[in-house]
């Protein structure tokens, strides 16, 4: 009995076996096939769940199944999944209304020709903050960045570094980003509270990155050619959603309102057929977006919650918490532990949303142990997931940047972009400085 009590207190390393199985399958397939997206993450998670069920034979299958169901059905998990669905509905409807093209063209039309490199960074910040997607921002701007590089003599990797950095700025902060949704729901805080906590750290990093790009690109000049038509009505839903969220309006109301507004704008401008409203909400204008685009991350979130439930029952979470307790002293050390944990999980999964979903429950337990506020923890896990996701050469962001460069006629390997990712590096530095200097993290 005494030995069992000690094990329960210290946890078991074996409890983390399902996590190890997931990482081995996911990373192993990526290394063997030279493609980190060859194996769907949901398949690797299902294998990990099966391993979790096979552990601890003293517990009956029905008892384990109940633990999984309870963990999957936690209010924060279900709310997170519903927000994912609503975010997909908004993205599908606003895209169909023409909001994406108008937002990109609006940003490009105001690009200052004399400061083209920092201008690229600012435009990427604006677009990603509006659309809530770093990959979408990079896909839209990569060919333009390469065109600028070819006509100004600025290096292609440098221009791509500017748009990737800007894309990660918005991905980290946007209230319709799936990373923000995951971070706030796993920690149980409001989006506007997390935004304010996050913005204080991200703004200095963005300003320094802007200055760095301005200094490097001083004197370069380039004028965007081609049709840059935009309609401010099509941009309005993005602005309305951002303003409402920052004003503290409930996220469900914000996203439902944004979807309705997008449909009204689309129908009024003739970009959405009234008979196709349900279709564009469900699958987007191209059949691959909308709510359907959120299926994977929604299912992964539910399965991951079930795995975490069994991992916790088997002592895995207690093992991590005990290991951190032995190595940290107080809230500052705990924040560093949460940050490093998030970095490692994202490096392993190559997906910042999945990393937040996996690390979130553990981070919440650590935060509770050391009296760290939910908004602070949400900010840290979102920041460090974005930092790692923005710099790993096998992540979607750098792969899309490389592919966009190739499509525009310039071969650039993801590794070549890494030295110019000023913003992610600065964001990490600013976050660690914030950990060092901020005294009150409990409010």
Residue 247 CB burial class (10 angstroms; 0-12, 13-18, ≥19): exposed
Burial track 40-50 (b if 16+ CB lie within 10 A, e otherwise): ebbebbbbbbe
CA distance 353 to 98: 26
Predicted pLDDT at 52: 92
Kindly state the tokens that stand for 241. Answer: 């959603």
Predicted pLDDT at 376: 95
Residue 310 CB burial class (10 angstroms; 0-12, 13-18, ≥19): buried
CA distance 442 to 212: 34
Kindly state the tokens that stand for 219. Answer: 């004197």
CA 393 to chain centre: 16
CA 44 to chain centre: 20
Q: What ranges do the domains of the chain cover?
A: 2-437
Contact 159, 120 (CB under 8 A): yes
What are the backbone angles phi and psi of residue 218, rounded to the nearest 5°?
A: -55, 125
Predicted pLDDT at 227: 73
Give pLDDT tens digits along the chain (443 positions): 444 444 455 678 888 898 889 888 887 887 888 776 678 878 988 999 999 999 988 899 999 999 999 989 888 788 878 888 888 898 889 889 988 788 878 877 777 666 888 988 998 998 888 888 888 888 878 888 887 887 777 888 999 999 999 999 998 998 888 899 999 999 999 888 999 999 999 999 999 999 999 998 876 666 666 677 889 999 899 888 878 877 878 878 888 999 999 999 999 999 999 999 999 999 888 776 789 888 887 888 899 888 888 988 888 878 877 777 777 778 999 999 999 989 988 887 778 888 898 889 889 988 998 889 999 999 999 999 999 999 988 788 888 888 888 877 788 888 899 999 999 999 999 999 999 998 888 77
Predicted pLDDT at 223: 66
3-state helix vs strand vs coil in the chain, percent to 5: 80, 0, 20
Predicted pLDDT at 4: 46
The tokens 């108008």 sit on which residue?
A: 102
Angle at 277 between CA 275 and CA 280, to 5 degrees: 125
CA distance 263 to 271: 9
> CB under 8 Å to 420, separation ≥6 — which residues?
155, 157, 158, 160, 161, 162
Handedness of CA 427, 428, 429, 430 (dihedral sign): positive
CA atoms within a 13 Å half-sphere pointing along the CA-CB vector of 320? 25
> CB under 8 Å to 80, separation ≥6 — which residues?
181, 182, 185, 186, 301
Q: Would you tell me how many other CB atoms lie within 10 Å of the CB of residue 295? A: 13
Contact 36, 61 (CB under 8 A): no
Contact 240, 258 (CB under 8 A): yes
Q: Would you tell me how many other CB atoms lie within 10 Å of the CB of residue 110? A: 12
CA distance 254 to 113: 36
Helix axes 156-173, 422-437, angle to 10 degrees: 40
The string of DSSP letters for 74-87 reads -HHHHHHHHHHHHH
Reduce the DSSP state of residue 428 to 3 states and report it. helix
Predicted pLDDT at 382: 96
Contact 280, 93 (CB under 8 A): yes
Between the two ends of the chain, the Cα-to-Cα distance in Å is 40
Rg (CA), the chain: 22
């Amino acid at each position: 009995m005494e030995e069992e009590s000690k094990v329960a207190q210290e946890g078991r390393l074996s409890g983390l076996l399902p996590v190890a199985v997931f990482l081995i399958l996911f990373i192993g397939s990526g290394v063997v096939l030279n493609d980190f997206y060859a194996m769907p993450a949901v398949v690797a998670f299902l294998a990990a769940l099966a391993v979790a069920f096979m552990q601890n034979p003293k517990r009956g299958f029905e008892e384990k199944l109940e633990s999984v169901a309870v963990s999957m059905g936690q209010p924060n998990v279900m709310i997170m999944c519903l927000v994912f669905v609503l975010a997909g509905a908004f993205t599908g409807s606003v895209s169909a209304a023409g909001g994406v093209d108008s937002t990109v063209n609006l940003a490009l039309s105001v690009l200052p020709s004399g400061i083209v490199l920092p201008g690229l960074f600012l435009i990427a910040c604006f677009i990603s903050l509006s659309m809530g997607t770093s990959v979408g921002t990079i896909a839209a701007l990569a060919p333009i960045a390469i065109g600028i590089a070819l006509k100004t003599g600025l290096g292609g990797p440098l221009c791509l570094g500017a748009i990737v950095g800007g894309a990660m700025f918005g991905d980290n902060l946007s209230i319709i980003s799936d990373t923000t949704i995951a971070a706030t729901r796993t920690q149980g805080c409001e989006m506007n509270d997390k935004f304010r906590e996050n913005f204080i750290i991200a703004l200095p990093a963005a300003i320094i990155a802007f200055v760095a790009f301005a200094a490097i690109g001083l004197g370069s000049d380039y004028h965007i050619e081609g049709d840059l038509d935009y309609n401010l009505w099509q941009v309005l839903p993005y602005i309305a959603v951002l303003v409402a969220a920052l004003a503290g309006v409930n996220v469900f109301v914000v996203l439902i309102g944004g979807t309705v507004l997008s449909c009204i704008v689309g129908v009024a401008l003739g970009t959405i057929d009234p008979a196709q409203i349900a279709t564009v909400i469900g699958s987007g204008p191209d059949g691959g977006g909308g709510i359907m685009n959120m299926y994977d991350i929604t299912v992964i979130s539910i399965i991951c919650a079930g795995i975490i439930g069994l991992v916790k029952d088997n002592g895995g979470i207690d093992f991590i918490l005990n290991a951190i307790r032995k190595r940290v002293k107080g809230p500052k050390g705990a924040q560093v532990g949460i940050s490093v944990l998030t970095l490692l999980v994202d490096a392993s999964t190559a997906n910042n949303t999945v990393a937040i979903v996996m690390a979130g429950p553990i981070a919440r337990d650590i935060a509770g142990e050391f009296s760290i506020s939910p908004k602070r923890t949400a900010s840290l896990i979102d920041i460090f997931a974005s930092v790692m996701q923005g710099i790993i050469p096998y992540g979607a962001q750098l792969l899309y940047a490389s592919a966009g460069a190739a499509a525009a006629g310039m071969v650039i390997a993801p590794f070549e972009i890494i030295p110019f990712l000023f913003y992610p590096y600065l964001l990490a530095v600013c976050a660690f400085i914030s950990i060092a200097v901020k005294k009150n993290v409990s409010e």
